[in-house]
Amino acid sequence: LQLMIIHYQFNYIKNKCRGHQSKGVILHHDNTRPHTAAQTVQTINELGWELLPHPPYSSDLAPSDFHLFGPLKAFTRGTKFESDDEVKSVVSDWLRHQSKDFYAEVIRKLVHRWEKCVTVLGDYS
């Protein structure tokens, strides 16, 4: 799923920035196992993207955790999928049909959360 999301992001950027390279993209994601898997890291490197460091155990700073998974879970609640391909298709369609405001809001929330983290010097206790 992580690689699918990365490829979706790449294609989105490529289509939105026609005539411009997709180099210079800074990707933010947490440092859990799927994101540090060799294939994921290799794909990110091949795309020429930079990884923004993420503090461990900081789900409040992971946009997927605080903005994406809740609505996606609500959308798919009660759905029985027949295959992995069906899951990929439904998730891709859902991502594609979210408004620009949906994605803009996650950036606004992320900036606020980062500012909070910096204010307390990363001390969550």
Full-model pTM: 0.53
pLDDT of residue 85: 94
State mean pLDDT over 25-37: 59
State mean pLDDT over 19-48: 67
Same domain? For 43 and 77 the reply is no
Element (H, E) at 50: strand 50-52
Number of domains into which the chain is organized: 2
Same domain? For 61 and 50 the reply is no
pLDDT of residue 28: 62
Same domain? For 99 and 86 the reply is yes
| Per-residue pLDDT reduced to its tens digit, 67-83 | 888 999 999 999 999 99
Domain that includes residue 99, residue range: 57-125
Same domain? For 74 and 107 the reply is yes
Burial of 4 (0-12, 13-18, 19+ CB in 10 A): middle
Using pLDDT thresholds of 50, 70 and 90, give the confidence band for residue 38.
confident
Q: What proportions of the chain, in percent to the nearest 5, are helix, strand and coil?
A: 60, 5, 35
Same domain? For 35 and 94 the reply is no
State mean pLDDT over 13-42: 64
Same domain? For 13 and 49 the reply is yes
pLDDT at residue 34 is higher than 70: no
Same domain? For 5 and 48 the reply is yes
pLDDT at residue 106 is higher than 60: yes
Same domain? For 108 and 80 the reply is yes
